[in-house]
């Protein structure tokens, strides 16, 4: 079916206007706490790079855990299956920053999207490249075509100053020999990666390699189609943490959220999406974002099911 996304995006934006409870911005990172939950943007990117958007779809925001998808792809491309010796691919059923499973699972995090798993992935990427946050930023710049993307120093410093929980996760995993770099180096790279600013348009375009079964915007291959499938599957089962079941039930797409209020989602073989709304629910997912994606798949019938 040939579909232009403009009418559907306009309708979703109108519905989001009427949303009364939009949740609250993340306040455990003080630099994010002042964000206005009333803000909203949404973009859809076709596989040929055409992008449609509504609301503040060109407004950069703090990408946070959305970047975990890109660092995972870059680490998997370089390390292959051996990456899965360091991190699992099962839903955790626990909050994204939980410590509880790590001790009895010997420092191997459940999946690459909870904080512990993302720390391990960034550690491996940094061990191989020597510049984990830089290669992630470069990848986002190349795939979005936006050379102006930057790391927000204020956000990175704010999180460093309040990063005890992530430090605890990293030091515990280091004690289990599952961290290769000195922990302070790893934390710096991880916080810098999370502090990349990008817009819905940038992120929808940068995610398109997952809808193209591993092919980058310039036609070169980052991942095998099997590796792209693996990442989409982990996004579906683990991308919204302890709300992954609810997200799959409502949206029916591989997706990945961040506490900056962004969520990316993939319709394999068809298009990619990014929504932004800084108000979060109790499990750290954007209220407006999940609602908008739910409405998108309902109105268009584009889901993986
Ligand atoms: O490490 C943290 O806690 C943040 N930099 C990222 C967490 C995040 O985005 C989880 N998302 N819902």
Both tokens of 9, joined, read 């995006």
CB of 300 sitting under 6 A from ligand 1: no
177 in a structural domain: yes
The single residue of 8, 259, 287, 290 carrying the catalytic annotation is 259
* Closest to 194 measured CA to CA, from 159, 244, 240: 159
pLDDT at 129: 98
Cα 7 to averaged position of ligand 1 atoms, centre (Å): 33
Residue 93 lies in a domain: yes
Please report whether residue 305 resides in a domain: no
Where residue 3 falls among pLDDT bands split at 50, 70, 90? Answer: low
pLDDT of residue 1: 44
Instruction: State the pLDDT at residue 4.
Output: 83
Domain count, the chain: 1
pLDDT at 2 over 80: no
Instruction: Report yes or no on 267 lying in a domain.
Output: yes
Candidate list 190, 234, 256, 286, residue with the active-site label: 190
Q: Please indicate, yes or no, if residue 264 is contained in any of the structural domains.
A: yes
Residue owning the nearest CA to atom 11 of ligand 1: 258
Question: Residue 210, Cα to own-chain centre: how many angstroms?
Answer: 13
Q: Does 13 fall in a domain?
A: yes
Indicate which residue of 65, 71, 158, 257 is catalytic: 65
Domain range for 294 is 5-300
| pLDDT tens, residue by residue, 48-97 | 999 999 999 999 999 999 999 999 999 999 999 999 999 999 999 999 99
Q: Does residue 104 carry a catalytic annotation?
A: no
Q: pLDDT, tens digit, for every residue of 35-54?
A: 999 999 999 999 999 999 99
Check the annotation: does 105 bind a ligand: no
Our answer to whether residue 68 is catalytic in this structure is yes
Secondary structure E strands in 96-163: 150-151
Q: Output the domain CATH number for residue 104.
A: 3.40.710.10
Calculate the CA 58 to chain-centre distance: 17
Query: What share of the chain in percent tops pLDDT 70?
Result: 99
In the chain, DSSP assigns E strands to 41-46, 51-55, 61-62, 150-151, 196-198, 255-257, 262-267, 271-276
């Amino acid at each position: 079916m040939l579909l232009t996304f403009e009418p559907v995006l306009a309708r979703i934006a109108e519905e989001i206007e009427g949303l009364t409870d939009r949740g609250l911005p993340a306040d455990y990172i003080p630099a994010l706490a002042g964000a206005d939950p009333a803000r909203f943007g949404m973009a859809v990117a076709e596989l040929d790079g055409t992008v449609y958007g509504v609301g503040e779809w060109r407004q950069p925001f703090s990408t946070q855990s959305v970047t975990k998808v890109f660092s995972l792809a870059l680490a998997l491309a370089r390390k292959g299956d051996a990456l899965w010796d360091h991190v699992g691919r099962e839903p955790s059923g626990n909050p994204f920053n939980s410590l509880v499973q790590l001790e009895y699972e010997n420092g191997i995090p459940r999946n690459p999207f909870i904080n512990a798993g993302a720390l391990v992935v960034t550690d491996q990427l940094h061990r191989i490249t020597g510049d984990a946050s830089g290669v992630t930023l470069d990848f986002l710049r190349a795939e979005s075509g936006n050379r102006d993307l930057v790391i927000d120093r204020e956000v990175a410093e704010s999180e460093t100053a309040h990063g005890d929980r992530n430090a605890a996760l990293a030091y515990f995993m280091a004690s289990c020999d599952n961290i290769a770099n000195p922990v302070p180096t790893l934390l710096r790279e991880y916080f810098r990666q999370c502090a990349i600013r990008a817009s819905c348009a940038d992120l929808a375009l940068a995610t398109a390699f997952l809808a193209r079964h591993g092919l980058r915007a310039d036609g070169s291959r980052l991942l095998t189609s099997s590796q792209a499938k693996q990442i989409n599957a982990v996004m579906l089962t683990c991308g919204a943490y302890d709300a992954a079941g609810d997200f799959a039930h409502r949206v029916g797409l591989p997706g990945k959220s961040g506490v900056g209020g962004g969520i990316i989602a993939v319709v394999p073989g068809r298009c990619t999406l990014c929504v932004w709304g800084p108000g979060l629910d109790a499990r750290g997912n954007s209220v407006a974002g999940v609602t908008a994606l739910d409405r998108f798949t309902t109105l268009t019938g584009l889901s993986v099911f």
